[in-house]
Amino acid sequence: MKTYFKLLSFAKPLGKFAVPYILTTILAVIFGTLNLALLIPLTDTLFKADTNAIHSIPFPEFSLTLDYFKNIFSYYFNEIAISQGKFGTLKFVCVIIVSSALLSNLFRYISQRVMEELRIHTIENLRISVFNNIMNLNIGYFNNERKGDIISKVASDVQVVQYTVTSTLQVIFKEPLQLVVYFIILFKISASLTLFSLIVVPVSGLLIARIVKRLRKQARESQERFGNMISFLDEALSGIKIIKAFNATEFVKNRFNNENKEFSRLSRSMVRRQQLASPLSEFLGIVTVAGILLYGGNMIMNQQNSGLTAAEFIGYIAIFSQVTRPAKAISETFTQIHQGLAAGERVLELIDTPVLIVDKKNATAAAPFNSKIEFKNVSFAYKDRPVLNNVSFTIEKGQTVALVGPSGSGKTTICDLTPRFYDINSGNILFDGIDLRDLKADSIRSQIGIVPQESVLFNDTIFNNIAFGKPGATKEEVIAAAKIANAHEFIINTENGYNTNVGDRGAKLSGGQRQRLCIARAVLTNPPIMLLDEATSALDTESEKLVQDALNNLMKNRTSLIIAHRLSTVKNADKIIVLDQGRVIEEGSNAELLVKEGLYHKLINMQSFEV
Ligand code: ADP
Ligand code: MG
């Protein structure tokens, strides 16, 4: 129920849709039922012995009851029967039937339209919320989630949810209303027959409840399976080279196919249940109709004084046969609602995931960087895996500080903490003397440029990839940035120059070219602080030199924190910080550290900092 109301909140403003929906539905139901009820006078006219025997009846007195309207109809019906004869009456009844059918269908169409509006509106809101929340989530969240599962939640589950909201409006309002109106008329025609037929409603209700009970669990499981499939697909596509190289296609195929089989098995079982609900209730309905035929037919044949004419009996059966339709609709929508709720839970999990890194209410925007970044006794753990232990160091404005240490010592982690991708467990990270947590995250990040080890490019043109961080950048600015990044040369040699598409994740470029585009991007945004995390480690010697030149250009007149695996890059740094197992164990210039003959000395002798 909680899930449901939460989903409903995305339908806001509900009143805008619910009110017209309810009004038009009431009208559609009334005229629809009227149509059937008109069968009674119709049959009456056709089979009545003689119109000459009809006498005038008095005009009914006004009262707000069903009988009043029925009497008015009878009055005019009577008048016409007297003045126009049998065929005239028939024409009169037919005109009324046609107009009421027209009205009922018109209102049904309008109510359906309102419903569709509501559905589309809800789904739009839901999708916006999900995507926005995903984008706001902290980086740490994505370490623990499958990308494919998130994709399937946004793409497929949201789609399933949409019918929940609209279907429930139908189930709680339209169909019950239709049933109630039918039963009122049925009671009017014959109370005893109706009491008898009422038995069928709870019986079929119970049966259907039993059938759909397990549906929600199965629906949820099948949605999870679907998420897995998308994950496997995503991994298979991005790793296709490695998969082929390791002859792992069979393994990958099996993994996907197993999931697919499981998904199909669940779908099959769910569909069987779903499909069972409606024929069952329909069959029960027919059984009741047969019972009524026996019971009521008997009443008429025995000429009992039941007050039931043949015409009324035919009308009764006609209306009753329609009772199964809303009952059937209710049972069908129940299965939809269960699936929708299961999907809704998954989507809401995403929406309700707390954004851990939020600006404090009184957070201020950071002023332009002007003195130093300071790590003060910083300790940090990924969940419960301690990674940094009491780390302290300072980066003065204009300095280049290098982080050095064996693999896994926490270098990347320090880089991620500086723009506050994660919050630390204890200690302080101070930006010009102010704790990061007291500043607006955006205002810090806009002053920090990052060139990561793996270049991140989007499937777009070279121009747009460079201009990514600075919307509205001019062609001249982009070219200037590309020149500083040593990228201009190769860009103009591509097929369409700056308009060349780089392919998925930049697949059409070499590693060094990709990296230089990333550097150009950082140059263009021109941040005062740069973080370079092994920006050259994935490159061959030649492109490394080009990229290194680009990086040197980038670091000019900036404050930089660099992680590098080459002595050449590190030795010119103003300060070198040596990390081991999450602790700072040495600190100083290249010369100072070499004299110490500590870990730095050892790493230098190995010619590579990566152990
Ligand atoms: P470095 O960049 O120095 O090689 P990292 O900062 O990447 O090291 O990692 C430091 C330690 O933290 C490693 O032992 C690694 O296993 C762990 N680690 C890194 N990222 C995560 C993560 N997202 N979740 C849990 N542990 C992590
Ligand atoms: Mg690293």
- Ligand 1 pocket residue status of 385, Cβ below 6 Å: yes
**Nearest ligand for residue 410 CA:** 1
Closest protein CA for atom 16 of ligand 1: 408
Q: Regarding beta strands 372-382 and 385-396, do their DSSP bridges make them parallel or antiparallel, or are they unpaired?
A: antiparallel
- Ligand 1 pocket residue status of 278, Cβ below 6 Å: no
54 confidence band (pLDDT: 50, 70, 90): low
Long-range contacts formed by 361-364: CB under 8 A, 24+ apart: 362/438, 363/437, 363/438, 363/439, 363/440, 364/434, 364/438, 364/439, 364/440
- Ligand 1 pocket residue status of 59, Cβ below 6 Å: no
**pTM summary value:** 0.77
- Ligand 1 pocket residue status of 382, Cβ below 6 Å: yes
Mean pLDDT of 586-605: 87
Mean pLDDT of 464-478: 90
Could you tell me which residue, 303 or 341, shows the higher pLDDT?
Answer: 341
Closest protein CA for atom 19 of ligand 1: 413
Q: Are 57 and 83 in contact (CB under 8 A)?
A: no
24-36 pLDDT per residue, tens: 999 999 888 888 8
Closest ligand 1 atom to Cα of 406 = 3
**Nearest ligand for residue 610 CA:** 1
What pLDDT score does 52 carry?
60
Q: Are 83 and 105 in contact (CB under 8 A)?
A: no
- Annotate 587-606 with b (16+ C-beta within 10 A) or e (fewer): bbebeebeeeeebbeebbee
Choose which residue among 137, 378, 382, 425 to substitute to test ligand 1 binding: the one with the highest number of ligand atoms within 8 A of its C-beta: 382
Residue 200 predicted with pLDDT over 70: no
- Ligand 1 pocket residue status of 408, Cβ below 6 Å: yes
How much distance in Å is there from the Cα of 453 to the middle of ligand 2? Answer: 8
425-434 pLDDT per residue, tens: 999 999 999 9
- Ligand 1 pocket residue status of 414, Cβ below 6 Å: no
230-260 pLDDT per residue, tens: 989 988 888 888 888 888 889 999 999 999 9
What domains are there in the chain, each with its CATH number? Answer: 2-351 (1.20.1560.10), 372-607 (3.40.50.300)
- 308-312, 346-350, 490-494: least confident range: 308-312
What pLDDT score does 475 carry?
93
**Nearest ligand for residue 405 CA:** 1
Mean pLDDT of 97-117: 91
- 51-65, 322-336, 576-590: least confident range: 51-65
Closest ligand 1 atom to Cα of 533 = 2
What pLDDT score does 201 carry?
65
Mean pLDDT of 285-289: 78
- Ligand 1 pocket residue status of 412, Cβ below 6 Å: yes
Whole-angstrom distance, CA of residue 563 vs CA of residue 83: 103
What pLDDT score does 183 carry?
86
176 confidence band (pLDDT: 50, 70, 90): confident
What pLDDT score does 401 carry?
94
Residue 610 predicted with pLDDT over 50: no
Residues with CB under 5 A from ligand 2 (ion): 412
What pLDDT score does 113 carry?
92
Mean pLDDT (the chain) is: 85
- Ligand 1 pocket residue status of 452, Cβ below 6 Å: no
Q: Are 429 and 378 in contact (CB under 8 A)?
A: yes
363-384 pLDDT per residue, tens: 999 999 999 999 999 999 998 8
Whole-angstrom distance, CA of residue 15 vs CA of residue 166: 14
